[in-house]
Amino acid sequence: MDQQQLMQEAKTARQKAYAPYSRFQVGAALLTRDGKVFHGCNVENASYGLCNCAERTALFAAIAAGYKPGDFATLAVVGDTDGPIAPCGACRQVIIELGSPTLEVVLTNLKGDVEVTSASALLPGAFYLDPNA
Ligand SMILES: O=c1ccn([C@H]2C[C@H](O)[C@@H](CO)O2)c(=O)[nH]1
Ligand SMILES: [Zn+2]
C-alpha cells in the first residue's frame, strides 16, 4: 500500500461521511505497520459538540479492533479544502497519542495537493505521556 493508494482509500472513506450540518465531508485512511487499512469519516450530531472527525474515527476503529499506539505507519486525510486539509486541535492531540509522535501524516485535498508531515510536527509542545512507558 503506497501513499497514493492510501490517499485513494481516504477519498473512498470520505464518501461515507455523515455531515448533514456542516456539509463538509472528510475521509481518513490509517495504515497499520502490518499492512491493514482502517477507514474513518466524520460523523456529526444535532448536538454539535458530539461531532467526531474522520481522523479520530479511523484511529478509534483501529484501537477497537485491537491495535495499539505505535502500531501505525501512515494516516492519510482528505477534505475539499483549498490546500491540504488541516486537522483540528482535538485530532492532533489524539493522533500524537494513538499514532505515536513519529506517525507519518499525509494531508491532502480533492485537487491533489499533498503535504506529508508527522504527528509531532502537527502539535509542537504536545502534552504527551508515552503509553508504552
Ligand atoms: O480535519 C478535519 C477537519 C474537519 N473535520 C470535520 C468535523 C466536522 O464534522 C466538519 C466541519 O468541521 O468536518 C474532520 O473530520 N477532519
Ligand atoms: Zn478533528
pLDDT tens digits for 84-105? Answer: 999 999 999 999 999 989 999 9
- Whether pTM > 0.95 for this model: the answer is yes
Check if 104 is active-site.
no
Q: Give per-residue pLDDT as tens, 50-76.
A: 999 999 999 999 999 999 999 999 999
Nearest to 97, CA basis, from 116, 77, 117, 120: 120
pLDDT of residue 133: 77
Q: Which amino acid does the sequence have at 24? A: F
- Please answer whether residues 27 and 41 qualify as being in contact, where contact means their C-beta atoms are separated by less than 8 angstroms: yes
Ligand 1 proximity of 10 Cβ (cutoff 6 Å): no
Q: Which among 9, 55, 104, 115 is annotated as catalytic?
A: 55
User: Cα(15)–Cα(12) distance, rounded to whole angstroms?
Assistant: 6
From the alpha carbon of 42, which atom of ligand 1 is closest? 15
Place of cell 481522523: 55
For ligand 1, whether the C-beta of 42 sits within 6 Å is yes
